[in-house]
Amino acid sequence: MITKIKAAWRVFKAGEVVANPAAWKAGQIGANAVAALLVAAHELVGAFGYDIPISGEGLDAVAAGLFVVVNVVCTVVSTDKAGLQDKRKTDAS
């Protein structure tokens, strides 16, 4: 379990990348679509007179949070150009 956590953390470092970046990009696109559909579905259901127990602002916050988290994670793990700096490498320079 610890080795899996270390491997997952490692892909967040600059210069590292997941094994299949295309799959992560596809997931990123799908999650963005879900975030947009949440807002659209809330508006559509409201237009038909149904009341969903979450405000539009609350749903916007959930959708925006999903959008930001997924985009940051997927962007960082699917490219070797961005990510966290390895302190050991920068200290040794």
pLDDT over threshold 80, residue 61: yes
Give the HSE-up count for residue 63: Cα atoms under 13 Å, Cβ half-sphere: 19
pLDDT at 39: 82
Summarize the confidence of residues 26-42 as an average pLDDT.
Answer: 85
Summarize the confidence of residues 34-57 as an average pLDDT.
Answer: 85
3-state secondary structure of 76: helix
pLDDT tier for residue 29 given thresholds of 50, 70 and 90: confident
pLDDT at 43: 85
